[in-house]
Structure 1
């Protein structure tokens, strides 16, 4: 199964470090970041989980729920959390899914459906494609997919930046330009005609080209 932006995120039931969940029910009316790991006790993932725990208040402020997944049993996650706390200063303060039967990794296309067995005996290299970030909206549709190699730590500050853009553009008919950050100018969406734009933006806009119509970021 190959998931794409705009697809409904597959629903599932799973055991997590904070109890059993049904994914869509757990998301509720919030946004969600689901990020996956190929194995517990791996070095790059240890740094990622600690950093995500540290900046969780930034996600909370944006009404974004965080949930991790690792291809190991939940009991292993609890032991790993102590290492993360010791080495990174913060232990995971969000649920971590146990995917020891690999069912969710397969459901999300991170491992081939043809893979047999469970996580026992599999190495991180066997699961190296389980290194995804999915941003999911309140409508349960996938808004962003990032895939990282095992050797490159993920940039969760960038995920926050993208969420700011996604939330802004879900509310207003605008797009955000390269390297955009909260509070900077935005671009009127191509779906908005000039006549409509004159109503929405009576003060006008800057247009270095007719198709690039720049306005200040709309207020909430």
Structure 2
């Protein structure tokens, strides 16, 4: 377990590259990631109830992710035939099509590469991991959920928008930030900067080091 933890990708690392069979064909991750944000997420198994609700949630938000230059990619330790059968079954019964690639990871190669297998939870099923990569291929956010707790889609969307907004405006986000809320500007690093900060009436200044603005 200790060795696995030590090799887990971390925020700020470049996303480990791989080539895998998926429901949309063979994909090389670095090519898929190039020029787009990517959300790579794992689920424990096909034909399971919590996973079905989560995959449906991602599929239902496909327009949102496309609008925000973000591709989706799922993974579980199942065969490609199991994936195809599951995608077909859900589409047939609910009308929701999982049209993003789902990695068939029977050899656990990708799951191990991304630390999705955590023995304290399961030796053979991936935990519910979420990795958000930026268009340069850098890991910007990681979330882990246990097998029995579904993810929060609103938080995944909020986190993506927070990262993209932070990059665009060079700001930080306060607690519970939502699009349209004020953002945090960096604290001054010189006395002259402090003087300018105090004189800036456009900011909501809680203290010299904590100031917010609208964007």
TM-score class, shorter: 0.7 to 0.9
Identify if the C-alpha distance between structure 1 residues 85 and 212 changes in structure 2 by more than 3 Å, giving closer, same or farther: same
Return the match for 1:2 from 8, 15, 33. Answer: 8
When normalised by structure 2's length, the TM-score is 0.87
Flag structure 1 segments of 5+ consecutive residues without an equivalent.
Answer: 116-123
Q: SS at 2:151's partner residue?
A: coil
Of the three residues 143, 164, 169, the one matched with 1:167 is 164
**Which among 162, 174, 177 is matched to residue 177 of structure 1?**
174
Q: Structure 2 CA distance, aligned partners of 1:197 and 1:80?
A: 61
* Alpha-carbon offset, residue 87 of structure 1: 4.9
Q: How does 1:65-104 map onto structure 2 within 5 Å?
A: 65-104=71-110
Change (3 A) 1:198 1:98: farther
Alignment of 1:27-38 (within 5 A): 27-38=33-44
Q: Structure 2: how far apart are the matches of 1:197 and 1:109?
A: 47
Which residue number corresponds to residue 195 of structure 1? 193
Specify the alignment match of 1:119 in structure 2. Answer: none
> Which residue of the partner structure matches residue 214 of structure 1?
212
SS in structure 1 of the partner of residue 211 of structure 2:
strand
Structure 1 residue 151 corresponds to structure 2 residue 157: no
For 2:82 and 2:90, the matched residues in 1 are separated by: 12
Q: SS of the counterpart of 1:57?
A: helix
Query: How big is the shift at 1:128?
Result: 4.3
More helix by share: 2
- 4+ runs deviating over 4 angstroms: 191-194, 196-199
Report the Cα offset of residue 129 of structure 1.
4.3
Please provide the CA RMSD for this pair.
2.4
Aligned position for 2:59:
53
Equivalent position SS for 2:143: strand
Q: Can you give the 5+ residue segments of structure 2 that lack an aligned partner in the other structure?
A: 1-6
